[in-house]
């Protein structure tokens, strides 16, 4: 009985270790993707601020033509 219990404990430890490793791998990947997306959003905002007219849609251009103020 004692040997069987230790085998079971070892198996559970391996499963927990594997689950922890998988979780950390996914967490790191999600963190990298978040920072890539964040950098892309900030880059897009910077370009829109630098060239506001280039970011206008046709509807925005029409609105500006109707109300130039």
Residue 44 C-beta-side C-alpha neighbours within 13 Å: 7
Residue, of 59 and 69, whose pLDDT is higher? 59
Digit-coded pLDDT (tens) for 7-63: 999 999 999 999 999 999 999 999 888 888 877 777 777 776 666 555 566 777 777
Which pLDDT does position 6 carry in this prediction? 86
Count of the separate structural domains present in the chain:
1
Per-residue pLDDT at 22: 92
pLDDT at 69: 58
Contact 32, 38 (CB under 8 A): no
The domain of 45 spans: 2-66
CA distance 46 to 11: 53
DSSP state of 7: H
Q: Dihedral sign for Cα 40, 45, 51, 55, please.
A: positive
């Amino acid at each position: 009985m004692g040997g069987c219990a230790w085998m079971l404990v070892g198996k559970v430890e391996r499963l927990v270790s594997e689950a922890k490793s998988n979780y950390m791998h996914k967490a790191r990947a999600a963190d990298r993707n978040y920072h890539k997306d964040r950098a892309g959003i900030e880059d897009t905002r910077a370009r829109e601020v630098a060239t506001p007219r280039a970011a206008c849609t046709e509807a925005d251009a029409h609105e500006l033509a109707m109300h130039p103020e």
